[in-house]
């Protein structure tokens, strides 16, 4: 949802306000979704689900309303530009493993770099984790993580009939030492609760590529020609165990 009211049906106010909140007529809204002068009125863009909720007799704000504990504030540029591997390299812990499958949108499964990387979506699966090992990562104060950690928390599978063009991997899996350094500097001084005591390991950064896909990722990419997997996965999720 682009813009949402900060009050529920009974006019209750936000319990907590933040100096960075953008309020319009006492409503917490996303500024990019507000048109200030449309025939002398302020107009708010709204998604279908939220419009349906507001048009009903339901109490409280929509589920996706910013005021419904969905507001996270402005994301700084230093963190916006991070790729998935760069996120993993500056993380204090890794409570989950990323399993990524790439496939061309062409029906013949011939890779086109212009369409291979259009977005990501998926589901979450739970695996047994080494809790003591995860907790021990908090004891160290040196960041970023070594590049070797990527092969432990990230797997990539390409589904296609011809070889995957390496250039198509750059936008999603590249690592840039300067980008990682700037992100850590921002976190160290702006997120003191979790990153205030870290030391930035310059020698570790020297091992990072300037702007390239690290071999720790390139070497673990596997390929399958079984394109029927895509149709099977797109057919929906079946839960044979009946869990919800």
Of the segments 2-6, 46-50, 103-107, which one has the largest average pLDDT value?
Answer: 46-50
pLDDT tens per residue across span 58-89:
888 888 888 888 888 888 999 999 999 999 99
Calculate the alpha carbon distances from 38 to 33, 34, 42, 45, 70 in Å: 13, 10, 6, 12, 27
Q: How far apart are the first and last CA of the chain?
A: 26
- Computed over every residue of the chain, the mean pLDDT equals 78
List the alpha helices (DSSP H) in 9-157.
Answer: 48-55, 77-80, 84-90, 113-116, 131-136, 150-153
Question: What is the C-alpha to C-alpha distance for residues 67 and 235, in angstroms, rounded to an integer?
Answer: 35
**Phi, psi for 204 (deg, rounded to 5):** -70, -40
- Top-confidence residue, 57 or 13: 57
The H or E element spanning position 156 is strand 154-159
Give, as one character, the DSSP assignment of residue 16.
S
Mean pLDDT for the stretch of residues 203-230: 87
- With bands split at pLDDT 50, 70 and 90, how would you rate the model's confidence at 106? low
Token reading at 131:
């809790």
pLDDT tens per residue across span 9-18:
334 456 678 8
pTM for the model stands at 0.70
pLDDT tens per residue across span 113-126:
555 555 566 666 66
Q: Which residues pair with 224 in a beta bridge?
A: 159
Token reading at 16:
């907590």
Question: What is the C-alpha to C-alpha distance for residues 164 and 231, in angstroms, rounded to an integer?
Answer: 20
Mean pLDDT for the stretch of residues 15-44: 81
Q: Which residues contact 72 (CB under 8 A, 6 or more apart)?
A: none
**Nearest CA to 217 among 157, 163, 160?**
157
Token reading at 183:
């992100």
Token reading at 101:
């499958």
């Amino acid at each position: 949802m682009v813009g949402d009211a900060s009050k529920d049906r009974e006019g209750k106010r936000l319990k907590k306000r933040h100096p960075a909140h953008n309020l319009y007529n006492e409503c917490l809204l996303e500024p990019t979704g507000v048109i200030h002068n449309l025939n002398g009125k302020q107009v708010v863009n709204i998604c279908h689900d939220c419009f349906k909720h507001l048009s009903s007799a339901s109490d409280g704000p929509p589920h996706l309303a910013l005021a419904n504990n969905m507001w996270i504030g402005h994301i700084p540029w230093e963190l916006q530009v991070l790729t998935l591997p760069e996120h993993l390299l500056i993380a204090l812990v890794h409570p989950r493993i990323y399993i990524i499958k790439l496939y061309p949108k062409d029906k013949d499964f011939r890779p086109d770099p212009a369409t291979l990387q259009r977005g990501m979506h998926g589901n979450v699966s739970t695996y047994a984790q080494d809790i003591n090992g995860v907790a021990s990562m908090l004891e160290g104060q040196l960041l970023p993580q070594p590049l070797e950690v990527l092969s432990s928390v990230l797997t990539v599978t390409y589904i296609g009939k011809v070889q995957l063009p390496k250039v198509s991997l750059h936008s999603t899996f590249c690592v840039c030492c300067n980008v990682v350094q700037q992100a850590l500097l921002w976190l160290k001084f702006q997120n003191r609760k979790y990153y205030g005591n870290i030391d930035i390991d310059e020698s570790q950064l020297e091992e990072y590529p300037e702007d390239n896909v690290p071999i720790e990722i390139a070497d673990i990419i596997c390929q399958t020609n079984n394109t029927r997997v895509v149709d099977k996965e797109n057919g929906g999720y079946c839960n044979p165990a009946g869990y919800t």
